Amino acid sequence: MRYFFETYGCQMNKAESAALELILAERGWESTIQPETADMVIINTCSVRLTAENRAWGRIAHYAALKRQHSFILVVTGCMAERLKKKMLEKQPQIDYVLGNFQKQAFALVVDAAADGRIIPDIEESPQFTFAASHYEKGAFKAFVPIMHGCNNFCSYCIVPYVRGREISRNPLAILLEILQMAEQGVREVELLGQNVNSYNWLDGISIPADYPLDNPLAAKAQVQLVALLDCGAMDFPSLLAWLAEILGGSSIGRIRFVSSHPKDLSERTIDVLAKYPIFARHIHLCVQHGSNRILQAMNRKYTVEKYLELVNALRKKIPEITLSTDILIGFPGETEEDVQATLQLLETVRFAYAYMYYFNPREGTPAAEMDTQLSMVDKKQRLARIISVQRAISQTVMQERVGQTVQILAEGLSRKSSSELLGRTEQDMMVVCKGDSSLIGSFINVKLETLRGTTFKARLVED
């Protein structure tokens, strides 16, 4: 049996797709790059912006047409599936399964039924999100590890709380177990994931997973330390980070990242932990969204520009080598030219290494979609173009300043342009290519940044 997978959206979607692919692999299914030969096609969708949903509808229509030539099971999952549910089946009857985020736990049943030539008529939703045991992608040296799910913030423009549900944190021992297993499989860098990752808060005491290896010295040490920590109360995000750093400092995991951070939840304790432990990458994606306090309030972001800048200053004071990236949402209802200027000023003040920039996209069911001060598409696109232009110039300057530095990268693979070049990323989340032997793939290596082309450094390998 063969399957074909398409994934859209955030890192969490990518991690969850990897978990679903593990279920297929465990049952002997093989991946194919040709959907025309697949017995099952799975589309993991995104609902953050209308453009993402429109693209998904286009792909669904493509596979619906393909089904008329070749029989296969068509599965649509992810946030769009959660948002629209049975409406998707009504609009496109060629879909066999619509699995929302709270139905993914039934994917194994769907796979088994497909192998038997059956269709399960109804898939029940789980009352609570269930974390997969593993999100490992075969052969990868970097991996995503979800630590919490859902969002309680209800930003006025955002669909995420409606399709991901309320915040739930993952058992810390399950998090550590997955990372240790990934280390055994060759993973060298992990990225901790959550819709609001720094709101992690484990309240349920010691719960030892069935396959937790207490005979593993690191795992046993972690369990003992966790008991002591939980005796003092719940485990919050900085406690989790410090605990992981203490344990994984003795493993082959060389770097930890995390995303996405909400400014209102990035605490001074978290900054202190990052500064203390070198295992954490010197980069944070800290989503500001806008540079106007008036718009931030309308967005229900729960912080001010001044508070955000205090966080930036604290990070740079305690971790001088850190770089920052962000999200910018322009064209929010009621936005004025003064608000745009405030956002441009914020970019100049913070000097982000890079930013994801997009214009406001009304999402059905969110308060911002009903606001009566919507801007025209022309205005939104023009304003976004100005934001992009300024940030691109800043990114070039920030990166150019690093030319000549010697840095460490994780060699992730070969460059697409040359089989004699290695592709890697610095702990500041900047892309690097350098001449090097393929035997170095999966290793941390030192390189000297020599030139910058676009957003990629050309570097030279530095011998130890």
pLDDT at 176 over 90: yes
| Structure tokens given for 103 | 């139905």
Spatial distance between the Cα atoms of 415 and 112, rounded to a whole number of angstroms:
38
pLDDT at 312 over 80: yes
Q: What percent of the chain has pLDDT over 90?
A: 87
Going by pLDDT thresholds of 50, 70 and 90, the confidence category of residue 215 is confident
- pLDDT attached to residue 52: 92
pLDDT at 464 over 70: no
* DSSP bridge pairs for 259: 193
- pLDDT attached to residue 256: 98
Spatial distance between the Cα atoms of 228 and 172, rounded to a whole number of angstroms:
13
Each residue's pLDDT tens digit, 316-364: 999 999 999 999 999 999 999 999 999 999 999 999 999 999 999 999 9
Going by pLDDT thresholds of 50, 70 and 90, the confidence category of residue 221 is confident
Give the global pTM: 0.94
- Please determine, looking at this structure, whether the domain spanning 406-461 carries the CATH number 2.40.50.140: yes
Q: Decide: residue 111, CB within 10 A, 0-12 exposed, 13-18 middle, 19+ buried.
A: buried
How would DSSP label each residue in 90-138? Answer: HH-TT--EEE-TTTGGGHHHHHHHHHTT---S--PPPSS----S----T
What average pLDDT is seen over the chain?
95
What is the sign, positive or negative, of the torsion defined by CA atoms of 248, 244, 20, 59? negative
Spatial distance between the Cα atoms of 170 and 235, rounded to a whole number of angstroms:
11
Q: Which residue has the tokens 């649509």?
A: 76
Point out the least confidently predicted range of 35-44, 123-132, 154-163, 250-259: 123-132
Alpha helices in 157-287 (DSSP H): 160-164, 172-184, 217-230, 237-248, 268-276
pLDDT at 303 over 70: yes
Q: What is the mean pLDDT of residues 440-454?
A: 96
Q: What is the mean pLDDT of residues 425-432?
A: 96
Q: Provide CATH code, domain 2-115.
A: 3.40.50.12160
Residues of the chain with CATH 2.40.50.140: 406-461
Point out the least confidently predicted range of 217-231, 263-277, 369-383, 413-427: 217-231
Each residue's pLDDT tens digit, 66-79: 999 999 999 999 99
Cis previous bond, 239, omega within 30: no
- CA angle, 358 as apex, 356 and 364 as ends, to 5°? 125
Which of the 8 DSSP states describes residue 69? T
Residue type, 45: T
pLDDT at 428 over 70: yes
DSSP H or E stretch at residue 278? none
Residues of the chain with CATH 3.80.30.20: 142-400
Each residue's pLDDT tens digit, 377-427: 999 999 999 999 999 999 999 999 999 999 999 999 998 888 889 999 999
pLDDT at 112 over 80: yes
Residues of the chain with CATH 3.40.50.12160: 2-115
Q: Provide CATH code, domain 142-400.
A: 3.80.30.20
pLDDT at 94 over 70: yes
